[in-house]
């Protein structure tokens, strides 16, 4: 499902993240940081294998995804899988990047990554991740 406005989602992400910027980075448990790094590694591997179903499996069932290139918002794993299928069919380069920061937001984590995909794209992603049983999943993503 696609909505026409990114403003409410962006506003929500910013309002959730701002209070955490004042918190000390050391407040994130090193084990949690490793788990978030492992999530990013799985994301990168699935992306580079051009496997949209594996990418979508890293998101929660009701996840939201948007980027700065358009007003559409993908809601749910199925919409995110379709979005990545479309994207990966036209992106020959390899995704490289790293987790830059991890901030706690209550029980969730705000994750900022710096990525590039060949010569086509360089930028940052912001994820809001939450725990799903014994693993972390992406609940919200904004790509700039």
pLDDT value of position 139: 95
pLDDT value of position 11: 53
Q: Compute the CA torsion angle 53, 48, 80, 59 (nearest 10 deg).
A: 80
pLDDT value of position 118: 72
Residue 109 · residue 31 · CB < 8 Å:
no
Query: Token digits for 116?
Result: 């590039």
HSE toward the beta carbon, residue 62, CA cutoff 13 A? 2
115 in helix, strand or coil? strand
Pairing of strands 59-67, 73-75: antiparallel
Mean pLDDT for each consecutive 10-residue tract of the chain (144 residues)?
A: 51 52 63 94 94 96 84 88 88 85 92 84 90 92 87
Residue 95 · residue 115 · CB < 8 Å:
yes
| Domains of the chain, start order | 2-143 (3.10.450.50)
Which tens digit of pLDDT belongs to each residue from 81-119?
A: 998 898 888 877 788 899 999 999 988 999 999 988 776
pLDDT value of position 62: 93
């Amino acid at each position: 499902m696609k909505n026409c406005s990114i403003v409410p989602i962006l506003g929500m992400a910013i309002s959730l993240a701002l209070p955490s910027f004042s918190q000390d980075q050391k407040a994130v448990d090193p084990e949690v940081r490793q788990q978030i790094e492992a999530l990013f590694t799985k994301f990168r591997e699935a992306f580079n294998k051009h496997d949209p179903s594996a990418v979508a499996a890293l998101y929660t069932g009701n996840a939201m995804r948007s980027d700065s290139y358009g007003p559409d918002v993908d809601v749910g794993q199925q919409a995110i899988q379709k979005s990545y299928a479309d994207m990966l069919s036209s992106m020959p380069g390899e995704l490289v990047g790293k987790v830059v920061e991890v901030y706690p937001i209550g029980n969730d984590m705000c994750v900022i990554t710096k990525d590039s995909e060949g010569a086509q794209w360089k930028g940052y992603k912001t994820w809001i991740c939450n725990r799903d049983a014994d693993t972390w999943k992406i609940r919200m993503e904004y790509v700039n």
